[in-house]
Structure 1
Amino acid sequence: MSRPSATLRTAVVWDVLRGALDRRVKLSDRAELDVLDTGGGTGNFAVPVARLGHRVTVVDPSPNALFALERRAAEAGVADRVRGVQGDAHGLFDVAERGAFDAVLCHGVLEYVDDPADGLRNAVAALRPDGGTLSVLASGLGGAVLARALAGHFTEARQALTSADGRWGEGDPMPRRFTPEQLTALVIATGLEVVSVHGVRIFADLVPGALVDTGTDAQEALTRLEAAAAELPDFQSVAGQLHVLAEVRPPAAGGRTA
């Protein structure tokens, strides 16, 4: 099964997510899972997930993105397994059913919502209470600081490092960034159990394009390097993005799900 587009930037996330979905299939004893992709846009992950045989609902506020999603799903032959609806994390249950999904993808959402904790609680509430998987992908603070410093923008790098939202100035297009500890704490606060944390785009955003445009050998070598460093905390702290995989804790016998 091919990875999503922009392989260098998504390979770590896709490999973790695909493995998590395979485990969820075994645990649920259902070959087809119901997956919710909040902020799924044009289907970078939704279409590959549908190609695995699952049903995917994409919630996104952009009509243009949903139109591109529909076209991409049709071209991939999975139009019958991908449904796009206009909405956002705040009003998620206006367009999606609560507690109905085996897995929820919350990629590139928490940086933009007014209240990340509230947005994440909605994503978790969409999971089946008897078991589900959450995939969270968000912008990393350390990667932005390092990138500004290497570009010679030292004042901006310091501003990002010391500001509460991780922004380097008024011209910064990113509303918010997270450290690994901040993002993990947000997930834990929802009551889910964190399975793994990965750094994403540790090197890919810093390596000159000319070095990886020379052929597939260089691209594969960089992809392997990203994978090798992804689980190491020292490298997670300087990653461009952070990925947290978490699961609903199974209910205790005679008790309730946490």
Structure 2
Amino acid sequence: MSDPLRPRAALRTAVVWEVLQDALDRRVKATGRQALDVLDTGGGSGNFAVPVARLGHQVTVVDPSPNALFALERRAAEADVADRVRGVQGDAHGLFDVAERGGYDVVLCLCVLEYVDDPAEGVCLVVAALRPEGVLSLLAAGLGGAVLARALAGHFKEARQALDDPNGRWGDGDPVPRRFTADQLTALVEGAGLAVGAVHGVRVFADLVPGVLVDTEPGALEALLKLEEAAAELAAFHSVATQLHVLGETREATEA
């Protein structure tokens, strides 16, 4: 359930967290195990790993940054879940040097696909980490949201460039190497052998609404959060979302 006391920054993760919690709950019921094995690829300092561990699950975080892993260790200790969070240094291409192939009930691949050289290979690698009844949570940058944001900022040439560029980049100064449409992401997930359980648009409005409005108008934050959650499931808004979340499930998981 949504927590009205969550800070404004939670608008960026609320939709993904709701979907992920539901997926975890379904896997707990299907497996009969209260503690699942979760792999968080590119999990950084534990924005998702630590909350997942607080639900009682065992989480392995793979990230290339030693600094991020140090922050993860500190955050896990502060949340009293250090015994349920393990951080290891690595990346998607060398995933099975540090993680177990076919050893996880749920794999998180959040804001990673934009940075790998071969997205199709990247998705296949993380899928290979799943058990036969596993679930993949995939979050990546959306093309339409970037085009809309550049246009609303008055950068019309950059908006057009992002629209025409095969990687969805608006120029040399664009910090995101690659963006996706919902169709592209679902094709990658299906190409890796998973069924698409759901697609959600993330940050449909949050990045466009002036911060001062949300911070000063009574009740605006919670109202915006509810709007985000309602729009996330509607395909009409996927094309303008800043990010896209795809839930991929193995055939066994969909039949469970």
| TM-score of Structure 1 vs Structure 2, range by shorter chain | over 0.9
The equivalent position to 1:41 in structure 2, one of 34, 40, 44, is 44
The equivalent position to 1:199 in structure 2, one of 201, 224, 229, is 201
What is the rounded CA distance, in whole Å, between the counterparts of 2:111 and 2:95 in structure 1?
A: 15
Unpaired runs of 5+ residues, structure 1, are: 254-258
> Which residue identity lines up with residue 246 of structure 1 in the other structure?
G
1:113 and 2:116 correspond: yes
SS in 2 for 1:134: strand
* Alignment root-mean-square deviation, CA: 1.7
The equivalent position to 1:162 in structure 2, one of 164, 170, 189, is 164
1:99 and 2:102 correspond: yes
Check the 8 A contact 1:2/1:48 in 2, yes or no.
Answer: no
Residues 120-135 of structure 1 aligned to structure 2 (within 5 Å): 120-129=123-132, 131-135=133-137
Whichever structure has more helix as a proportion of its residues is 2
Give 4+ residue runs of structure 1 displaced > 4 Å after superposition.
1-5
How far off is 1:239 after superposition? Answer: 0.1
Give percent identity, aligned residues only: 75
SS in 1 for 2:14: helix
What is the rounded CA distance, in whole Å, between the counterparts of 1:234 and 1:161 in structure 2?
A: 18
Unpaired runs of 5+ residues, structure 2, are: none
How far off is 1:215 after superposition? Answer: 5.8
The equivalent position to 1:89 in structure 2, one of 89, 92, 106, is 92
> Which residue identity lines up with residue 228 of structure 2 in the other structure?
E
User: TM-score normalised to the size of structure 2?
Assistant: 0.95
Residues 143-154 of structure 1 aligned to structure 2 (within 5 Å): 143-154=145-156
What is the rounded CA distance, in whole Å, between the counterparts of 1:98 and 1:206 in structure 2?
A: 40
> Which residue identity lines up with residue 227 of structure 2 in the other structure?
L
How far off is 1:23 after superposition? Answer: 0.1
What is the rounded CA distance, in whole Å, between the counterparts of 1:62 and 1:154 in structure 2?
A: 36
Alpha-carbon displacement from aligned partner over 1:79-114 (angstroms, at most 9, x marks no partner): 110000000001000000000000000001100000
Give the match for residue 60 of structure 1. 63
Residues 66-85 of structure 1 aligned to structure 2 (within 5 Å): 66-85=69-88
User: TM-score normalised to the size of structure 1?
Assistant: 0.94
SS in 2 for 1:31: coil
What is the rounded CA distance, in whole Å, between the counterparts of 1:39 and 1:70 in structure 2?
A: 15
SS in 2 for 1:40: coil
